[in-house]
Structure 1
Amino acid sequence: MSLENRILKFRKVSICYTLLALWICCCTSTLQAQNATTESMINLADPTVFYHEGTYYLYGTVEGNADQGFEVYISKNLKSWEGRKGANGGFALRKGDVYGTKGFWAPQVFYHQGKFYMAYTANENIAIAESNSPLGPFTQQVKEPLAAPVKQIDPFVFVDEDGKKYLYHVRLKDGNRIYVAEMKDDFSGIKEETLREVIAAEAPWENTANAEWPVAEGPTVLKHNGLYYMTYSANDFRNPDYAVGYALSRSPLGPWVKQKSNPIINSKMIGVSGTGHGDFVRDGKGDMFYVFHTHQSDATVGPRKTAIVKARFSENKEGEAHRLIVDPDTFFYPKVKF
């Protein structure tokens, strides 16, 4: 082969390698771009996380589409999520299978005696559906809400160690006020004689806008060292000062004492607006997390974003009630890959 032909062949090979390198680089960049675009924030308000057999299940109010039901996302580590995984077109609970035609808000999922239950709000009433799986479908044999003479929202069902069941919820009566009542054993309603108001927005941090309709909502109850801890949110959710406080009681029915350390979550602590309305979950190690929502940005309320922060009980002196503490340095937004 002549020298001229060798040079020509070398040039052809070099061009091929160059084109191959460019193609690989282009494909890599494309894949990176695709990965970046498929991972996004989760826009669920009033969120709750249910942990079962090594998997986390995330539910909440579907921003912009709250008239269809509740979607569910799944995760193994709380940070990276897959969705939407509900048994009915991505929904764990869907309109038509249960009571309600609009305003599906603030779900809570719990497990009791071999069944999964979802307490939720629809049409500004409270209903409870059941399923054989956390993915749903959650259904009702009789599509009716729990009986009540007023509008009520934000249910949280607590089953105590003695087997008694309690419904914490919000009644829309001269403001959003938190009530509690003991429930019937089959979750079909409350024992009316036990109903009582437990939390109203009265402290300065709970009504920073001096609204005529004060708001206390989103109750969640934990039991620790023989005491009952209720977290709740105050201020209208559209208010940047939406925040979380807690109260203590020696009985599920109260009286409840608001704590001097309130609020334990707010915009100053976390660094974003509209922090509130959440639920607790423990991981496989027993560590505790609070899942809640924030505003989309300082200038925009919605769609509200799902957020998570680590929480714990303090180690106080013997005889003193342990304080509920949230670590703002652990705050993060979970993300989903579609």
Structure 2
Amino acid sequence: MKLVKYLYIMLFSVVIYAQDNNPLLADPTIFEHNGTYYLYGTKGSKAIEGEGFLVYTSTDLKTWSGPAGAHDGYAFKKGDGFGTWGFWAPQVFQHNGKFYMAYTADENIAIAVADSPLGPFKNDGNAIKSDVRQIDPYIYFEDGKVYMYHVRLDNGNRIFVAEMEPDFTALKTNTLKECITATEQWEDTEKVKWTVTEGPTVLKKDGTYYLIYSANDFRNKDYAVGYATASTPYGPWKKVSTPFISRHTVGYPGSGHGDVFYDKKGNMYYVFHTHFSDTEVAPRKTAVVPISLKKGKLTIQKGKTIVWLSL
């Protein structure tokens, strides 16, 4: 009986340790600037008061500190600009000496600006106009043009792209084009009416565009990450038939919705979230896995495994 009690205490301690020491950010992204890595995402911890986007920092990708945002630990806090609920899936980028955050709130997309990656990011309280609800922005620059890959909530979560105005205030709606919707078996393992493809990241190598995305509902243990390729920013996109990050490749359910980033040596990573455990979806945990892009194929680096981010 003592042994059973001891094992229960140890198991409980491991769960608490994971919760207390992981940033607990879903839909994470990592932005590097001047040797410091900045981690943002959808807040999962109920122990931290407020709403918005927390930010954590690291210089080695091993140990993280924070929350370190300029507004009570937040890089963007509710009240700093557009949004009253549902602060999801931020992306941070630098442009013309300023730092920008593209984010979701109230199932709309807005962009805020700051003088530091720590914030405070602010805007005038307006979202980007759209005829439907839209989420999960990813801003991509090429040849003087700005593109926004994003998800439109219209007969499913479907990924679109459109060129933006140079000041990020609006989409050029005449350029709006669908990129990805769920058509593969792995993208809809529960055969639902409202299918989901979301969380886009776009990169280019050797003339080929790679659109990395997640599919299935985030509560589904089969939530996973796949990619498609194209020869233009608008597609047409050719999907790879199986995901390269999933519960089968990393060993944890609900593995998805993240972003690509590079360390100081140029090594490539994908930061993403998983379910909290085999039986609980939330709060979702934040993890990183080294990936590679060789001969047109995205894979987890051989011999590498998932690494949990810790505080």
TM-score, L = length of structure 2:
0.91
Structure-1 residue corresponding to 2:305: 330
Q: How far off its partner does 1:105 sit?
A: 0.2
Q: Deviations over 1:84-142 (max 9, x none)?
A: 100000000011111000100000000011010000000000000000000000001x2
CA distance in 1, matches of 2:150, 2:196: 13
1:88 aligns with 2:71: yes
1:169 aligns with 2:150: yes
1:133 aligns with 2:151: no
Structure-1 residue corresponding to 2:56: 73
Against the structure 1 CA distance between its residues 188 and 329, is the aligned structure 2 distance closer, same or farther, given a 3 Å change threshold? same
AA of the residue aligned to 1:275: S
Secondary structure of the equivalent of 2:21? strand
Structure-1 residue corresponding to 2:268: 288
Contact 1:67 1:102 in 2 (8 A): no
How many residues align structurally?
Answer: 292
Q: Deviations over 1:139-162 (max 9, x none)?
A: 01x2100000110000000011x1
CA distance in 2, matches of 1:100, 1:180: 23
AA of the residue aligned to 2:98: K
Q: Deviations over 1:53-102 (max 9, x none)?
A: 10000000001569711000000111210011000000000111110001
Contact 1:180 1:197 in 2 (8 A): yes
Contact 2:159 2:180 in 1 (8 A): yes
Unmatched 5+ stretches in structure 1: 1-35, 317-321
After TM superposition, the structure 1 = structure 2 runs for residues 100-139 of structure 1, keeping only pairs within 5 Å, are 100-139=83-122
Contact 1:102 1:122 in 2 (8 A): yes
Counterpart of 2:291 (choices 311, 323, 326) is 311
Structure-2 residue corresponding to 1:319: none
Structure-2 residue corresponding to 1:271: 251
RMSD: 1.6
Structure-2 residue corresponding to 1:148: 130
Contact 1:67 1:103 in 2 (8 A): no
Secondary structure of the equivalent of 2:304? strand
1:228 aligns with 2:203: no
Q: Deviations over 1:8-62 (max 9, x none)?
A: xxxxxxxxxxxxxxxxxxxxxxxxxxxx899711200000000111000000000
Structure-1 residue corresponding to 2:28: 47
Counterpart of 2:141 (choices 150, 156, 159) is 159
Against the structure 1 CA distance between its residues 258 and 138, is the aligned structure 2 distance closer, same or farther, given a 3 Å change threshold? same
- The runs of at least 4 aligned residues of structure 1 exceeding 4 Å deviation read 36-39, 64-67
Counterpart of 1:210 (choices 185, 191, 196) is 191
CA distance in 2, matches of 1:79, 1:290: 14
AA of the residue aligned to 1:148: S
CA distance in 1, matches of 2:89, 2:246: 20
Q: Deviations over 1:232-275 (max 9, x none)?
A: 00000000000000000111111111013x20000011111000
AA of the residue aligned to 1:214: T
1:98 aligns with 2:81: yes
TM-score, L = length of structure 1:
0.84
Mean Cα displacement is larger for which, 83-92 or 59-68? 59-68
After TM superposition, the structure 1 = structure 2 runs for residues 13-52 of structure 1, keeping only pairs within 5 Å, are 40-52=21-33
Unmatched 5+ stretches in structure 2: 1-16
CA distance in 2, matches of 1:113, 1:107: 19
CA distance in 2, matches of 1:85, 1:64: 15
Contact 2:250 2:305 in 1 (8 A): no
AA of the residue aligned to 1:301: V
Counterpart of 1:247 (choices 218, 221, 228) is 228
Q: How far off its partner does 1:330 sit?
A: 2.9
Against the structure 1 CA distance between its residues 174 and 308, is the aligned structure 2 distance closer, same or farther, given a 3 Å change threshold? same
Q: How far off its partner does 1:202 sit?
A: 1.1
Q: How far off its partner does 1:324 sit?
A: 1.2
Against the structure 1 CA distance between its residues 207 and 67, is the aligned structure 2 distance closer, same or farther, given a 3 Å change threshold? farther
